Structure 1
Amino acid sequence: MSLHDTADDAEPRGPRGIQSIEVGGQLLLALAHHGRPLPLKDLAREAGMVPAKAHPYLVSFQKVGLVAQDAGSGHYGLGPLALQMGLIGLQQYDPLRLATPLIEELAEALGLTVALAMWGNRGPTIVRVAEAATPVHVTMRHGTVMSLRDTASGRLFAALLPPERLREALGAGLDELATDAPFQQALSEIRAGQPARAEGDAVPGIHALAVPVFDSLGRLVLGLTVVGPGAAIDLGPQGAVARRMQQAAQALSQQLGWRGSA
């Protein structure tokens, strides 16, 4: 055995794949990235290959239903099998299951308490809490219903849920909030893309910031909320905490099939 053989044997080897599938997969990735049918030359360019090389892959993908070609324009788009696989994949994603380890990571990284809220029959409800190393002693535990007016989680849902969903839980109370000018201004800022914020409104000296998690249809499914002492949280929309929370929420939303942007 030569030194060369020994060095090769010492190198870690991953599972052996089929290169042609990996190459052809770049065409599927390009279609998924653009979200619309593309002509052959554009699709090939996006996948990093010449049209003559891309075409045989597309023919095979059409035969199994991964790609479909429009009869009129000749453009290539995702086929029925790809769509079925996408729907099945989305059904397998549970927002809470995906988000639970995420809030543990955020709590450790930020040194702040991070929670998940979902809309319940009485309003925004805390369903998971990840405590910071030095926990914040506020009423935020599993099952807590957050104030729509005075908490970041509540304002997030008030801004982004359809009015009929809000009325189911609040009834006539929704009309009272409609005349609260500062509250409505806060909702307008959230709808414009800013995080929901609460600066000591519920508990003096305690600040909170909440960002939305969307599903594949653009519906609000979770509120990702960070809570801590006022001195520890910069509530500015461009602050480090806001940026970290928004990045996490967007990544989680994309896992759930959302195709929007921050």
Structure 2
Amino acid sequence: MTDAALPLSLDTSDTTLAVSDATETAPRGPRGIQSVEVGGQLLIALAHVGRPMALKDLAREAGMVPAKAHPYLVSYGKLGLVVQDAGSGHYGLGPLALQLGLISLQQFDPVRLASAELPALAQQVGHTVAIAVWGNRGPTIVRLEEGPTAVHVNMRHGTVVSLDGTASGLLFAAHRPAVEVDTMLRAENGQTPDAAFLAVLDQVRAQGWAARVDGSMPGVSALATPVFDGFGAMVLALVAIGPSAALPVDASSPLLAPLRDAAQTISRRIGWRG
């Protein structure tokens, strides 16, 4: 028998051991149910598109064929996660999905979420940052986080700030109902909004942020961005406050991007889809 005809005998013990060891030591994530994850893509697709869809369109959006999607939709329909319109046959999110969404929104307090962002945001922008909400007397500071750049302002938790003299006030004036804004302005300075003030509010809405230089406090300027809830209502403002000489407040300000990013992150966590 030649060498070529000799049977080969491989010692696989070391290899088997190595594979076994790798299997034992490889990190494993929590075990899930694949069918739930697959079917969940249909719910994600409905939430992403935001309107009822035909079966073929919904299946395509979820990355599967209609025949595969249909049994999932039948089960979700029994649970109330989806509903099928009797006329068009289109599928949309059902009453249970709405209930879950509302409960989720109740669990996410925007002020609590924003407060968690403040320390890092203050360091990032290099200035004092604050959270302002709409109170029964107007824009009200509910949280203040000092930054590396000192600013001396007579402001603390519960301070009510000017509607037309502060960045946060302009944001709320731009997004609150006009009747409410008129009432607050009359109470604040005895005046109603004039054409110039309304033009400023139009600009604030268009650009998505507000600024005030030497407004209600000489030598102090502020830049503010809005946080919106799942219904598109403004719920709070993130405000950077600093000395006018050190805090740029135009469209090229390096503070604008981190303020916007933080506001959008919080907004999305409470249901905003803008």
CA distance in 1, matches of 2:228, 2:248: 24
The DSSP-based 3-state class of the residue aligned with 1:129 is strand
The DSSP-based 3-state class of the residue aligned with 1:178 is coil
Give how far 1:178 is off: 1.7
- Where do residues 45-194 of structure 1 align in structure 2 (5 Å cutoff)? 45-171=60-186, 173=188, 176-179=191-194, 181=196, 183-194=197-208
Distance 1:179 1:119, change over 3 A: same
CA distance in 2, matches of 1:223, 1:13: 41
Distance 1:78 1:194, change over 3 A: closer
Of 203, 218, 221, the match for 1:207? 221
Q: Does residue 234 of structure 2 align to residue 235 of structure 1?
A: no
Q: Does residue 238 of structure 2 align to residue 224 of structure 1?
A: yes
Distance 1:177 1:169, change over 3 A: closer
Specify every segment of 5 or more residues in structure 1 that has no aligned partner in the other structure, as ranges: none
Give how far 1:15 is off: 0.9
The question of whether the paired residues in 1 share the 8 Å contact of 2:163 and 2:185 is answered with no
Give how far 1:192 is off: 1.8
Give how far 1:185 is off: 2.9
Q: Does residue 50 of structure 2 align to residue 35 of structure 1?
A: yes
Give how far 1:170 is off: 4.3
CA distance in 1, matches of 2:89, 2:180: 43
CA distance in 2, matches of 1:231, 1:8: 61
CA distance in 2, matches of 1:169, 1:202: 16
2:255 maps to a residue whose letter is V
**For residue 269 of structure 2, what is the aligned residue in structure 1?**
255
The question of whether the paired residues in 2 share the 8 Å contact of 1:40 and 1:51 is answered with yes
Distance 1:234 1:32, change over 3 A: same
CA distance in 2, matches of 1:8, 1:147: 64
RMSD over aligned CA atoms reads 2.0
The question of whether the paired residues in 2 share the 8 Å contact of 1:166 and 1:174 is answered with no
Q: Give the paired residue count.
A: 259
The DSSP-based 3-state class of the residue aligned with 1:247 is helix
Distance 1:37 1:135, change over 3 A: same
**For residue 12 of structure 2, what is the aligned residue in structure 1?**
none
Comparing 14-23 with 209-218, greater Cα deviation is found at 209-218
The question of whether the paired residues in 2 share the 8 Å contact of 1:115 and 1:224 is answered with yes
Give how far 1:231 is off: 4.8
CA distance in 2, matches of 1:105, 1:146: 24
Specify every segment of 5 or more residues in structure 2 that has no aligned partner in the other structure, as ranges: 1-15
The question of whether the paired residues in 2 share the 8 Å contact of 1:127 and 1:142 is answered with yes
The DSSP-based 3-state class of the residue aligned with 2:160 is coil
CA distance in 2, matches of 1:165, 1:150: 17
1:160 maps to a residue whose letter is H
1:157 maps to a residue whose letter is F
**TM-score normalised by the chain length of structure 1:** 0.90
Give how far 1:180 is off: 6.9
**For residue 6 of structure 2, what is the aligned residue in structure 1?**
none
CA distance in 2, matches of 1:196, 1:107: 18
- What is the percent sequence identity of the aligned residues? 57
CA distance in 2, matches of 1:12, 1:81: 36
The question of whether the paired residues in 1 share the 8 Å contact of 2:162 and 2:188 is answered with no
**TM-score normalised by the chain length of structure 2:** 0.87
The question of whether the paired residues in 1 share the 8 Å contact of 2:185 and 2:193 is answered with no
CA distance in 1, matches of 2:242, 2:163: 19
